[in-house]
Structure 1
């Protein structure tokens, strides 16, 4: 195919051979069939997150090593990531000057908008300075909760960038800094948002049970807070949605249903049917439906996901930003691929690339579905090849 960036399946084959393992032994120890592993390595089936997690455990590597680096050759983002890493490391020693309250509000909103629109490179360009500026302002504020809340929110943006750009070590460090900032706010909502990202680091590593433990602890603590209103609903509901992903990837159907039931109950209390955003967490009926659809894919019921997708694609939920819509289309592509609707999978991937191009090009499952379609069509479709070139999967 002229691939310029190794896929997860190709990386699995290389790592397996380096360990001296046969396909049969790796498949047996990872709990999958030999036929399935063979198809993953040759590009006929996508390497799903639970499979990557199982294989990584057997090979004694991280899931990030299996997925590989989606970027080919020297790139501006790698220099910027190193700058961000240095800023995060010296989190109590900002070199930047404080911003005024009005400047802080505007800059943090700009970062939030870039995150929601999946403009990760543009966001990365502003994050090191913004982290330093908001931290300097918070340190000068003598414990003012709002100032520290802005710091926590900027760290949340930084986590998204590190996660999406395949930097798990940086994501771990950022989450610890976000927790530190959230604890300065004395705001349970800020701590819940940080816990949502903390569980995300376990999700990325394929440690789903540990991630569920983080979520369940955060839910218990947050439920004990004597508060009410939409902001509380957003944070509690979002924790349950993270629980849906973790439980479904752990193949725990009962826990998945339980978190979904709680999420839907909370979503129905929000007015106007629109999803709301607070501390970069999106919650409402629309996002809950998206998580339910994704859970069907993870629990090996792609037909149910396809059935759900019709109304969601025909009339996307109000209030959802490109980052959520892009993920919807990628999950629909996964489901359609699983039911052998290859034209539909391509159509959904095209929609993801249109609404959230930077995310679609680097999202592991977006790349896996695209790779399978390319292999099956043997590069015969120009549209697929164009997408593959943008994603660095073909030269």
Structure 2
């Protein structure tokens, strides 16, 4: 995926600031950070973290997607495939596809879930439009069949993952509304809660952490009144609390972070291992990874590094590549924050091995690479190879 160099979030902040005729001091005041910090973010000596990007977007009156830019090394194929997905999502009541054989649809659903978990976003994007049409046609023909509509809802969950990772916030919003539409036809509160998890994710991506928290807390309240027995309610409710951990930590609300984490840990004790249901992963292993990430957001990188040590030696079992890859990206962030440059680079390498497509486009893997690249590390061949894969070097 090599191409010309792609601008980073920090560089985009500088470009947008200058285009609006705003000095660093003025923008720093609006963002609530020091001029020195902003200057380092712009030139690549500090990473543009999610909270920094959210503050810059609000101060500059742009979206967080505009700050992150388009990190794709080959945008042409993505653009064509995304247009196909937009069309399929727009035609949510008018699928072009016919109802397939039950075995064909089951195979497609299994493939989509696996590609999402493996962070193979392009491969997933290639099959989603047709698969969405087939699943919707099946559900419409089946009338009020709750299982059929549940399959449509879960597929929209896969579509949300693609739209989110490929930095398409408008598409992600539309997908979530379609997922809610399908979930309401399942008569299953778990499907509604899974849709709410993604809805909160759209606020998280936009840097509107307080609104995202409100969505999570409302979903927890609604779902808590209709809980059933078995692993499903544990996975769904636990996942909502994990979303709350991310939102609260980025909102710098330590008490809310602790509360959501405490509930998640208590729920995780009820599962023997991490489970994947409705595209939600929950268990003790994933909860630990969310706790580690929260330490980074709350400016406690030393604690995150300490937590990571046993996880590197003995990674949690049962977690899919999307979660393992994110763990290594977070570990790289933590090590960079503690000025362990060699350790940050070493942490990124397995992320590119386990979940290459996510590592290539994830905002924080790119920001860590950018800082390492700027800090006199250009001669390191492994670092250069990763930078080329992300489009940070040509």
| Band the TM-score falls in, shorter-chain normalisation | over 0.9
Tell whether the 8 Å contact from 2:301 to 2:335 is kept in structure 1 after alignment.
yes
Residue number in structure 1 paired with 2:380: 381
Unmatched 5+ residue regions in structure 1?
Answer: none
Q: Is the 8 A contact 2:227 2:233 kept in 1?
A: no
Which residue of 1 is the match for residue 207 of structure 2?
Answer: 206
Shift of 1:379: 1.1
| Structure-1 residue corresponding to 2:119 | 118
- Name the counterpart of 1:361: 360
State how far apart, in whole Å, the 1-side matches of 2:285 and 2:340 are: 24
Match of 1:62 in 2: 63
What's the offset of the Cα at 1:102? 2.5
Pairs within 5 Å for 1:89-128: 89-128=90-129
CA contact under 8 A between 2:149 and 2:186: conserved in structure 1? yes
Listed as ranges, the gaps of 5+ residues in structure 2 are none
1:72, CA displacement in angstroms?
A: 3.9
What are the residue-to-residue correspondences of 1:1-395 with 2, within 5 Å? 4-72=5-73, 74-271=75-272, 274-395=273-394
Residue deviations 1:80-121 (CA, integer Å, cap 9, x gap): 001101110111000001123322222111000000001100
Displacement, 1:229? 1.5
| Counterpart Cα distance in 1 of 2:31 and 2:388 | 32
* Residue pair 2:377, 2:383 contacting (<8 A) in 1 also: no
Distance 2:4 2:293 in 1: 28
Q: How far apart, CA to CA, are the structure 1 residues paired with 2:8 and 2:142?
A: 47
The 2-side partners of 1:314 and 1:75 are apart by 40
Deviation readout 1:289-313 (Å, 9 max, x if unpaired): 0000000000000000000001111
> How far did residue 75 of structure 1 move?
2.1
Shift >3 Å, 4+ stretches = none
C-alpha distance in 2 between matches for 1:73 and 1:277: 31
2: CA distance, partners of 1:113 / 1:73: 24
Paired residue secondary structure (1:128): helix
Distance 1:186 1:104 in 2: 21
Distance 1:231 1:54 in 2: 36
Shift of 1:130: 0.3
SS in 1 for 2:276: strand
Matches of 1:309 and 1:292, distance apart in 2: 10
